[in-house]
Structure 1
């Protein structure tokens, strides 16, 4: 099993093209909430990916979303990424793409437009990419509702998934992720005048406060349960009739999420006359480390063959589409994308000097997986 010769050097030669594409891709804003801008981004990416993989790219439309799929006839590996971002339309106007002292900044640079550029370069470096499928989706940041079935089907066909989400600190890959459960708790009380006859009301805000204390108590060990967005009331002189909160729960194990799910479903009112309604549930199952073991070993060998530093691996509390592929039993390795920091923050950035190295590592891993038999 050998890597293609000169991968690192050839990846270095691609850096000018990578940076030109990187700038163009970041400037093509693609918030998850804007179908037209997601379509524009897909149209930009499609010819780059098609040229790199040397076959047509299919645009898959699901509801208002478009996803790009370059599916191999007999795939051995799926390269997975997303081009939607958390940044509102117009962010590029006051935070334009820039590269200063080798550091690229701008909306979506780290999460995960640099990773997409690196993935396209990695495929381009292959002498034969016929065993590689690539799927770029447009709704990862909002839960992958329209792409989940597509992701799972393509991952099953390929038998292995490489996710080009950002790397962890020190260019570490991600060999596990917490699962995520999301809930909305809604409380209905009874409105009344807050000054004249508050005793006739049922205060939804007070009921919600009781619920929040209860919910926070569901956290246990490394399972977190966090009430996040809260809202209650309509005017300052009215006993609140309605209140609600969002809840984010995360766990390394399926049982941890299942325990939270049962507890959330069993919430009952504290105040007479109040009604508590809970919606939501487990959104992304945990990505357990056992699902990364075989691919991590291959990636470590690929890094060694390229003369890179020993490859580190960490678990991450954040979720990705890697949770979906790992949960259906497909070996998955995540965090193969950009080196930088601070996703979803104004200081999001990418170390551009590392982009060829990351592309070469991915290409080397793709070569090694192409040499595996389908049963490995």
Structure 2
């Protein structure tokens, strides 16, 4: 498994570099072909390369889902090389989520009958899956389970809830004037932004796990001019679809505070929530399977970050996430994988597939 992981990690694959992602896809295809004895379909959408393996002639029942793109730019290996020390694997993208891709291949390689199983490894997840979302949803619809090989939560916990994500841009318009000579002649977009930022922030509901966070903000042109225009971005995370819709409706009702100011809101829901109900039955099955395999008791976690598992859950498919690597440091310099956990997690996924893929 570690030899396969080395191959994947040492082929850098930043999401925004289409050529690098295409090279990585060929490496993933080679490793998958070696383990599964089958060539994948190469699906290129807007220059981004995704890979799909389908097994059997009947309807797909189980989707194994992952991605091979990473957040790390070309050249990261020069100062953060792939290495294995004391049972810990390090290297860009090892935890998020190339170890999960390797584990998926080894999980399926252990099954003599893979009928009804589809493996989809995408190349744009770290960008928000702009080209692969529709592909993911089509593969998931009607299936019995989507097993997502994203990295686990702290301590190896499976991810049974993920917040939905909505992204917005609030734009305001005012009227410019000289800040020293006649500020009263202007309509100050910075002041209007201040009113709107506070109104938006108040839409969060900590008791329900809803966060509404104004982030990047810009306004004005020069220091001696009343700003005529400005905007700020908003990041929304919700545990339930109902909350996601509530916040969306509230943002659409924002109105200017200052006389003469204008306001528009752009954006909306980006990923639906992975609610606990979507993973409940699969998690119970995973607990049962883990006990049968003699593995330590499983744990679960609700997390704020999103994945492509949000899309499969939104498509109505039972979804269990966080089945990939055990380790930590996603998107950080300390990214690492616990090597000894890789075969254990592969065995768990293999047993889950065997159980769910049965007609």
Fold conserved (TM > 0.5)?
yes
The answer to whether the 8 A contact 1:50-1:70 is kept is no
Q: What residue in structure 1 maps to residue 200 of structure 2? A: 215
The alignment's TM-score, normalised by the length of structure 2, stands at 0.94
Q: What residue in structure 1 maps to residue 337 of structure 2? A: 350
Provide runs of 4+ in structure 1 moved above 4 Å: none
Pair 1:131-2:120 in alignment:
no
Q: Report which stretch shifted further, 220-229 or 236-245.
A: 236-245
- 2-side partners of 1:124 and 1:224: how far apart? 41
Q: Deviations over 1:115-144 (max 9, x none)?
A: 111111212222222332100111212222
For 1:21, what is the secondary structure of its paired residue? helix
User: Gapped runs of 5+ residues in structure 2?
Assistant: none
Post-superposition shift, 1:37? Answer: 1.0
The answer to whether the 8 A contact 2:278-2:319 is kept is yes
Q: What residue in structure 2 maps to residue 328 of structure 1? A: 315
Pair 1:42-2:25 in alignment:
yes
- 2-side partners of 1:337 and 1:100: how far apart? 20
RMSD: 1.7
Q: Report which stretch shifted further, 349-358 or 92-101.
A: 92-101
Post-superposition shift, 1:198? Answer: 2.8
Query: 2:183 aligned to 198, 219, 229, which one?
Result: 198
User: Gapped runs of 5+ residues in structure 1?
Assistant: 1-17
1:138-287 aligned within 5 A: 138-156=123-141, 158-220=143-205, 221=207, 222-287=209-274
Q: Deviations over 1:295-331 (max 9, x none)?
A: 2122112211211011122222211111111122111
For 1:40, what is the secondary structure of its paired residue? helix
Change (3 A) 1:89 1:277: farther
Post-superposition shift, 1:61? Answer: 1.5
The answer to whether the 8 A contact 1:53-1:129 is kept is no
The answer to whether the 8 A contact 2:142-2:317 is kept is no
- 2-side partners of 1:61 and 1:228: how far apart? 33
Change (3 A) 1:168 1:186: same
The alignment's TM-score, normalised by the length of structure 1, stands at 0.90
- 2-side partners of 1:271 and 1:28: how far apart? 54
Q: What residue in structure 1 maps to residue 63 of structure 2? A: 78
Query: 2:48 aligned to 49, 65, 73, which one?
Result: 65
Change (3 A) 1:230 1:310: same
For 1:308, what is the secondary structure of its paired residue? coil
